[in-house]
Structures are given as C-alpha cells and as structure tokens.
Structure 1
C-alpha cells in the first residue's frame, strides 16, 4: 500500500476534442497565402501549416482549394433569404431586391477582405467560377421564388426564370468588377447593377 505522504500517480490525460477552429479565419489565411504565393503553387499542406491546423482538420472544413475560395457563402444567402421572407406585399419589388443585396453584403472588415480576395481569384482562374455554380444557384433560386410570388407568375415559368438568371448574373458580374476596382462598398455596386438590369437596354 502506498504511503499517504506520496501522491498517487496521476491518471493519463484523456484525449479531448480538438481545439475549436474558426473556418472563416482559416479561409482568410488561405486567401492571403494564395495571393502571396500563387493559387496553383499552393498546396493544402501549405495552407494547414500557415493556418496552424492539422491537415486532417483543414480537410474537415474544406475538402479542396476551390472550397476554400468559395467558403463563407451561407451567411450571405441567409441574410438575403431573411429579407425576402420579411418583405411586405406592398413594398416595391425593386426596393426589396436592393435591400436584399445590400443586407446580404453587410460585411465586417475581415469578411470584406476575404470577399475581395475570393472574387479576384475567381476572375484570375475562371475554372473556380464553374466550381461555385451550385452556390450561385442557391441565390438564383431565392430570387426566382421571390419574383414568382410578387409578380404572380409560375416559379418555373419563363419570366421568373429569366429574371432570376439575369439578376444573379448581374450581381455576380458587379461584384467581380468591384473586387478589381477597389471600390469601397460592394452593396452600392450590386444595387447599381440591379438598376441597370431593371432599366433595360438604352
């Protein structure tokens, strides 16, 4: 029996869950690394090392480099959805759309930086746009559902489908332009593009 004056051997520490990881912070590290070292030249191992996370942890959140570029879309989509869901039936369609674009792009400094870097990478690597078509389709479907409801037309009809496609394309094109021209406010550019589409050809 051990002496009461001698402490017993401590039990081995149990392995706990890995420390919390902020995916947005990891993505921003990756985006900065892509800009500094080249997108094609950077590996996922490079990103894991730069972000201070294990390779396994990195792949848990981002299965590929394109996924790192396209990360962070969910909050944008949810803010847009919230505007459409709360819009009154008497509010002009244009005003609802402008508010949805503006609120979805209400970004803090880090998210603003990440968004600009993402879009610049997409402009430089067109294949990245193809990877993110599914993400753009979510925005497009939200727009189509809202337009169909407010214009009282079928969601699968020509008018709702074409308008939703046009607005989605215009919004994405405007944001690509914003990212490459150092304009401070992406929402202002998105609303300007919206008004161009609604105005029609000169």
Structure 2
C-alpha cells in the first residue's frame, strides 16, 4: 500500500485526528493539494481523519472554514506583542517582532499554513470568503498605531496605515507560499513591511 491514502492512514494511526482540529485540517489540506479542492468532499475529509461528519462540521462548518482555520493563535501571538512593546522599541520594530512571533510555527502548522496560502492564491473566492477574518489583525494594528500616534484607532490616517500594513503582510505571505521553499514566512512579511515603510512615490 503505497498510495497517498495509505500514507495518510499510517499517519492517522500514529497520531489520531479525533479531538485534534488542527490535525484534521492538515489532513484535509494535504487531500486538497493532491486531489483538488473542488473534488474533495467533506465526507472524504471526515473519512480520511477517522471522525464522523458531525464532528467535522462542529470543527469546520464548511470547506472554506477548513482553509481559513488556524488564524486565532497567530492573532493571539500578535496581540501579545502589540500590547506589550519594549520601552525603547520603535514602531517599526514592534510590528516586525509581532509578525515574526506570530509566524513562529511548528512543522505541522508551517506545512498547513503553506498549503492554505497556496490554495488561497489559486482561488480568489477563498480569499473573499476570509476577508472579514483579516480584520482582526488590522484592528490590532490600528489600536497599536493609535496609541503610538496619540490618535483614535478609527481616525483615517491610523486606519489607512493599519490597512496598508495588514494587506502588505497578507500579500507577502501569499507570495512566500507560492514563490519560496524556505520555512520562514515571517521574513517575507518583514520584508514587505520595510518595503511599504520605505516607499517614496515620485
């Protein structure tokens, strides 16, 4: 038995997916990559993970939710950095550190992140599905920038800068997933941050 399904069965026996939504998501993302997103049903994912359909839909109400899962820990780590910056850190350095620490991923999460981003990059509808989820990091940045600038987070200049940084970060991650083979997505995010902050248009 050397098929992809057999390999996944062996992995499943070594580390049960039941009770582990992140593991379920990784198995699903591998299946999407090998068999196609549209052609993979939620029933196939449940079977692959060795769980019931009800359990799967409790973890992830839809296939797009499977793709967009896993953002909460990233946002939480970013939150911790932005809420407790070093006394002497510049605004740029705090944001760069927030990006780096939020993207400090274990091997399985790194694989899942790359697969998620590659799938998003190939399907604009998936990006549209998750746009509201991106506002969590944007809002954190706006609150941080507001504190740094002595302004309200809802002010135009604060919101525009927060939107620009958040968009640059997401764009950099999509680019990393499809153009680089390294294990350092944060490097692409920080590179994009510096490109944005150093931009001088004629």
In the alignment, structure 1 residue 58 sits paired with structure 2 residue 56: yes
Q: Which residue of 1 aligns with 2:85?
A: 87
The one of 38, 41, 50 equivalent to 1:40 is 38
After TM superposition, the score normalised by the length of structure 1 is 0.88
Shift of 1:189: 0.6
Q: Is the 8 A contact 2:43 2:53 kept in 1?
A: yes
Residues 74-119 of structure 1: CA distance to partner in whole angstroms, max 9, x if unpaired?
1000000000111135420000000000000000100000000000
Q: Which residue of 1 aligns with 2:145?
A: 147
Q: Is the 8 A contact 1:140 1:168 kept in 2?
A: yes
Aligned partner of residue 78 in structure 1, secondary structure: helix
Q: Is the 8 A contact 1:153 1:159 kept in 2?
A: no
Q: Which residue of 2 aligns with 1:10?
A: none
| Structure with the higher fraction of residues in helix conformation | 2
Give the Cα–Cα distance (whole angstroms) in 2 for the partners of residues 89 and 40 of structure 1.
Answer: 49
Shift of 1:182: 2.5
Give the Cα–Cα distance (whole angstroms) in 2 for the partners of residues 67 and 132 of structure 1.
Answer: 8
Residues 109-153 of structure 1: CA distance to partner in whole angstroms, max 9, x if unpaired?
000000000000001111011111121000000000000101112
Q: How does 1:123-162 map to 2 (within 5 A)?
A: 123-162=121-160
Residues 24-79 of structure 1: CA distance to partner in whole angstroms, max 9, x if unpaired?
00000000000111101111001001111100100010000000000000100000
In the alignment, structure 1 residue 176 sits paired with structure 2 residue 174: yes
In structure 2, runs of 5+ residues without a counterpart are 1-16
Q: Is the 8 A contact 2:18 2:51 kept in 1?
A: no
Q: Is the 8 A contact 1:89 1:150 kept in 2?
A: no
CA RMSD, 1 decimal: 1.2
Give the Cα–Cα distance (whole angstroms) in 2 for the partners of residues 158 and 178 of structure 1.
Answer: 30
Q: Is the 8 A contact 1:178 1:186 kept in 2?
A: yes
Give the Cα–Cα distance (whole angstroms) in 1 for the partners of residues 166 and 30 of structure 2.
Answer: 27
Q: Which residue of 1 aligns with 2:104?
A: 106
Give the Cα–Cα distance (whole angstroms) in 1 for the partners of residues 37 and 93 of structure 2.
Answer: 38
In structure 1, runs of 5+ residues without a counterpart are 1-18
Q: Which residue of 1 aligns with 2:72?
A: 74
Shift of 1:20: 5.2
Q: Which residue of 1 aligns with 2:116?
A: 118
Q: Which residue of 1 aligns with 2:12?
A: none
Shift of 1:201: 2.8
Instruction: Say which one has the larger Rg.
Output: 1
Give the Cα–Cα distance (whole angstroms) in 1 for the partners of residues 123 and 113 of structure 2.
Answer: 15
Displaced runs of 4 or more, over 6 A: none
